[in-house]
Structure 1
Amino acid sequence: MSCFHIFKRHVRPTQPYIYSIFALLYMFSFSSFASTSVSFSYIEFNIAFILGISLPVILFAVLMRKVASIKWQYLAGITLAIFVFFFGQILEHSYQLQVSLTAASVYLALVCLWPLASERDDSLALGCVCQRKQLVTLSLKLVMLFLAAFVLFLWFVDDENINVSYRFGIYASAVLLISFTQAVSLKNLSEKDYTVFSRLIIQFILHSAFSVALVMYIQGASHYYWVVIALLLSFVITLTNGCWLLMQNVLLSFKTPENQEKLSSEELFHYSLDPATNLPMAQQALQIFEDTLAKDHNKRYAVVIFNPMNFQQVNNVLGHRNSDILLSQLAYCLQQQASGNKNLLRFGFNPEAIRIARLQGLNFLVVFDISETTHEAHHAINELCQYLASSVPRAMSFKSFSLNFKLAFGVSISGEDSSNVNDLISYAEDALLTSINKQRMVSYFDSTSLLYTQQQLSRMDALNTDIQDENLFWYLQPQININDTEIYGLQLKVHWYEDDNKPLELEDFVLVAEHSGDAYLLTKQMLSQAFKVLHLLHQHGHYLKVAVTLTSDSILEVDLVEYIESLMSKYHILGKYLIVELAEDAILDATEQAKAIISQLRALEVSIAISNFSGSYESLRYLRKMAIQQVKINCQSLTESDDNRVDKAIINSLVNLSRAMKLPLIGTELSDAIALEAYKNMGGSIAQGSEIFEGIVPDELLIWLKTWQEQKAKKH
């Protein structure tokens, strides 16, 4: 049955309607009891039966017409046609056959027109809005044309060569064929939900039985009772479906807010599509998937999210407007490939099956039914991914620009990973990120990553608490000139005691700080500690430089320079005593904003140092452009082992390079005497590491300085 329009309306109080309905039912009940004492003929009894079951429904539909529209005029016409048909049987006139056949033809036309009387199909049964306006309009016109042609030939064309029963048979076949076509059309739209299709097929069978019985009766090959039985069964089923639909519309109207304006099927269909790809958007797709899962919890679905990995190149070269054209081509190729696979969930309900939806960004979604697959699930999913990837042309072009698209897939499986739609989508997106990062084609969600994620969240929470409570352990590591044991400077370092185990260095937990959003707060605390140390040193006549390590995110903070200026003013310390260390990668990848902040630091006379210096061409080119006061080399590989010959040669070259450029060089991570001696033999002079001194807490710095100076004096 078709679904009927629910126009913009005011839902009036239904209490008067309910009282009217009870009054009508009481009246018909009383009349039925009264009629038991009256003798009816066979035809009159059938007429009374038809009126008895149809009039209450018609009156109910009329009374509720402000609440729910069900095209009650068609039901009234069907009832009238049956009444005229039975009346024609008792009519003693030469036109008896024409009257009966006219009524029968009108009855067949109306029972076929009633499901087509609306532009919307059974959205209540299907749970969707269908775009079939052209097909419905054509069917309506054909039924009306066939009816007019049959009535014209029946009354005004007298051809003895063509039997009247054949004319009616041809007419009935044409009308019933249209009815069957509509039933099949709804079946194709609903796919695995056959509720609407089953009801229409039952009606089609009973309408066909009535037509066959009537044709055989006209030819004298059947008894009249079979015609009546077939007609009554056909009418009762039609009326039952109409009542079911009426109640559905009434219930829906009570759930619909007052004055809510409904969009037409075309508007709703087009508004739910992504304008760039013409595919359903995330909200519609997820709602359909959620409804499908709710119908059968035992079914298993694979959520497959894929992404054209290298599409960002298109955006960079062509811009978003032109790249949308290529994206539309890609979506069309994928949709054409997927539309024929009935194991993929259908997201759109226009005549062409839409089985791909667009999620956020460049992510696309298909949902694969793996409940009935004969192969192992992962094998079937891999085949699907290969199948979709093969639909993408080797080279898609726009004007003179051409690009080979590569798809990456992420998969999660309902029942195994989760039964919640949002969780399944999130897990598939996580798996997609794994595919992109590891350059794989297909990755499956790993449930162990949830545990890792929870652990990371716990670490973020713990670090955030410790930073907020200033519960970090600060210490200083001296930088010594190994030639004369003079103190070159100090580096402020930090330990985080995550648990009772070994403390973590800054490089071990800096990513956790960045992910938790605490990296800049950590940097500010480090700068504050550095200026406290400088203030302490200056108070006691030690004018040493203190180095601090900044994260790559901190250098982008707009108020970094202002904060350093405030510390300089607070502690009355000049900027030349502060050294800001940046990783080489952070400097090479620095944006214009980062470069501007570095220039502002230089204007404050703050020294800039590069840690983990590699001596690459890019870093040397940057050294020429920017005034870098210091470079640091990791000398951890300077051990006795012969396995590090290449690393030793590189360090030796970097030491010689820095000497040639007259650039201060500090060797770090010198943890034993062998490494320190090797560094000294290469020409290095300034050293830092556990072999020099493990570390000094700020409260003991003055004591250490005094002890160091005394030891130095004794040696001399």
Structure 2
Amino acid sequence: MQYTHESLATIPNRYAFLDNIEKLLVADSHQSLFLIDVVRFSDVSSSLGYDFGDKILLEIANRIIYIADNKAVFGRISGDIFGLVLSGTQNQAQLHEFYSHLISHFKTPIQCDDHAFIVDFNVGVASNPLRNKNINSLFSLAEMALRQAKSNKFDNFQYANEINNSEGGRSLTLKADLTRALAQNELEIYLQPVIDLNSLEILGAECLLRWNHPLDGVLFPGALIEAAESYNMMNEVGYWVLNAAFEHAAKLNRVGLQLKISVNMSPTQLYDLDFVKSLREMSVRHGVKMCQFELELTEDVALSNSLLVKKQLSQIRSLGVSVAIDDFGKGYSNLGYLRNIDIDTIKIDKSFIMEINQSPINKAIVEASLLIAKAAKCGLVAEGIEDISHLHILREIGIQKGQGYLFSKAICLDDFIDLAYKDMSVGTSMIRAMNS
């Protein structure tokens, strides 16, 4: 392990970090996981710019590694949250002592350019439950501790060493909601058309999860996803979505609509050794060819150095399934991953499309994305097209595929079939609008 990172990109991301912890747990279950959240860091980035923010984060990361005497496994969980694992038997007092040392050390300001920044943290730490080998259980326990640390009045530290059944009525309610939603078929797949931007024909569809709540109607499933992540049920939800996508593809095929179907892939599925086998079984069960499917993964997953992830993606593509990078350019990106994995499609994050008619930088990013896609010999899809002016600009740049509310929001299967058969495209009304 190195004392100093020269770039945020060399710090193990969430998935590589979890891989490293899992290896530790196999060797010795006595591990303590810190989740270290930089307090109010978004204020720094928004006020002084993301380049400055990156410099500060890099300095913070290297200082934490130094404090741990280079003996700890370290990683970056998200933008301003770091993870640290201390091996060996540690009691609560010892872990709090490390936290106090951390806080004390960072009372010395970080100097960057002409600015000084004093760092404060919320810290959640979990001691691995006895004989536990499940990384998700340990990580969920640390996440629970971090949530509590953020709400503490006097000490931004929280320790946990076992699942606390009184952790909060809301979380327990979410778990009950998720269990019921899966058992009683309350979940549903909606489809958002992917459009040929020149002919305006429907080329495919992205599957998006919706929740038919018994009291509140059709909802976006954000709360359910939160519950699934907290209770290690993302794999179950991911397989439900994938199976439903195969069912929808089979129904579309039966009515003569053989379209490309895109499905967001749960990161946990890439770590499931039975995932490729499950794909084959679904393909046979529903009579749908693998080449009709495209699995979308986020850049965070693609950035993982995990050999297992690379192997899984290679096997998936060997079946004929396409692989896409979703939300391309969102957040902190290290484009070097494009050299290490084979992909079929890049989906440009909607934040670059929605203001493309106002921001020359957004337009330049989209143009650069097209050059990258051509060099990588993969397709390019623009997300978040909401205005006729967006469509005109994307056509001028040479983007050929896109999706967004300009064409259609995500709709249920029957409405999607009606839309597709209305005139086999959304083109007629759109062309009239553009020429009026």
When normalised by structure 2's length, the TM-score is: 0.60
For 1:513, give the aligned amino acid.
A
Q: Which runs of 5+ in 1 are unaligned?
A: 1-275, 277-307, 328-357, 367-381, 391-405, 412-428
Match in the other structure for 1:301:
none
- What CA distance in whole angstroms lies between the structure 2 residues aligned with 1:550 and 1:488? 20
Q: 1:661 to 1:598 in 2, by over 3 A?
A: closer
For 2:405, give the aligned amino acid.
S
Match in the other structure for 1:359:
91
Q: Secondary structure at the match of 1:670?
A: coil
- What CA distance in whole angstroms lies between the structure 1 residues aligned with 2:197 and 2:91? 61
Deviations 1:97-117 (A, max 9, x none): xxxxxxxxxxxxxxxxxxxxx
CA contact (8 A) 2:328 2:348 kept: yes
For 1:314, give the aligned amino acid.
K
- What CA distance in whole angstroms lies between the structure 1 residues aligned with 2:143 and 2:200? 54
Q: 1:574 to 1:691 in 2, by over 3 A?
A: same
Q: Secondary structure at the match of 2:257?
A: coil
Per the TM alignment, residue 519 of structure 1 is displaced from its structure 2 partner at its CA by 1.2
- What CA distance in whole angstroms lies between the structure 2 residues aligned with 1:677 and 1:565? 41
Match in the other structure for 1:568:
283
- What CA distance in whole angstroms lies between the structure 1 residues aligned with 2:312 and 2:236? 18
CA contact (8 A) 2:357 2:390 kept: no
Match of residue 394, structure 2, among 676, 679, 687: 679
For 1:612, give the aligned amino acid.
D
Match of residue 267, structure 2, among 538, 542, 552: 552
- What CA distance in whole angstroms lies between the structure 1 residues aligned with 2:391 and 2:167? 39
Match of residue 313, structure 1, among 70, 90, 106: 70
Q: 1:642 to 1:431 in 2, by over 3 A?
A: same
Q: 1:430 to 1:538 in 2, by over 3 A?
A: closer
CA contact (8 A) 1:531 1:568 kept: yes
- What CA distance in whole angstroms lies between the structure 2 residues aligned with 1:642 and 1:705? 29
Task: Say which one has the larger Rg.
Answer: 1
Looking at secondary structure, tell me which structure has more helix per residue: 1
Deviations 1:52-91 (A, max 9, x none): xxxxxxxxxxxxxxxxxxxxxxxxxxxxxxxxxxxxxxxx
- What CA distance in whole angstroms lies between the structure 1 residues aligned with 2:104 and 2:156? 14
For 1:461, give the aligned amino acid.
A
Match in the other structure for 1:621:
336
CA contact (8 A) 2:407 2:426 kept: no
For 1:485, give the aligned amino acid.
L
Match of residue 589, structure 1, among 298, 304, 322: 304
Deviations 1:284-327 (A, max 9, x none): xxxxxxxxxxxxxxxxxxxxxxxx9853831459xxxx987xx9
Match of residue 704, structure 1, among 413, 419, 429: 419
CA contact (8 A) 1:519 1:553 kept: yes
- What CA distance in whole angstroms lies between the structure 2 residues aligned with 1:540 and 1:434? 49
Per the TM alignment, residue 650 of structure 1 is displaced from its structure 2 partner at its CA by 2.1
- What CA distance in whole angstroms lies between the structure 2 residues aligned with 1:408 and 1:707? 54
- What CA distance in whole angstroms lies between the structure 1 residues aligned with 2:173 and 2:323? 35
Match in the other structure for 2:184:
469
Deviations 1:439-462 (A, max 9, x none): xx95267xxxx9994323322221
Looking at secondary structure, tell me which structure has more strand per residue: 2
Q: Which runs of 5+ in 2 are unaligned?
A: 1-29, 31-63, 75-85, 106-119, 126-141, 159-164
- What CA distance in whole angstroms lies between the structure 2 residues aligned with 1:612 and 1:527? 20
Match of residue 209, structure 2, among 477, 480, 494: 494
Per the TM alignment, residue 553 of structure 1 is displaced from its structure 2 partner at its CA by 1.5
Deviations 1:498-542 (A, max 9, x none): 686685545664332121222112111111111112212322333
Count residues in correspondence: 319
CA contact (8 A) 1:480 1:488 kept: yes
CA contact (8 A) 1:615 1:654 kept: no
Match in the other structure for 1:542:
257
Match of residue 607, structure 1, among 322, 326, 335: 322
Q: 1:496 to 1:648 in 2, by over 3 A?
A: farther
- What CA distance in whole angstroms lies between the structure 1 residues aligned with 2:237 and 2:173? 18
Per the TM alignment, residue 570 of structure 1 is displaced from its structure 2 partner at its CA by 1.4
**Which of structures 1 and 2 has the larger relative contact order (alpha carbons within 8 angstroms, sep 6+)?**
2
When normalised by structure 1's length, the TM-score is: 0.38
- What CA distance in whole angstroms lies between the structure 2 residues aligned with 1:504 and 1:693? 18
After superposition, the CA RMSD in angstroms is 4.5
**Among the aligned pairs, what percent are the same residue?**
21
Match of residue 173, structure 2, among 450, 454, 458: 458
Per the TM alignment, residue 642 of structure 1 is displaced from its structure 2 partner at its CA by 8.0
Deviations 1:368-395 (A, max 9, x none): xxxxxxxxxxxxxx9xx68x969xxxxx
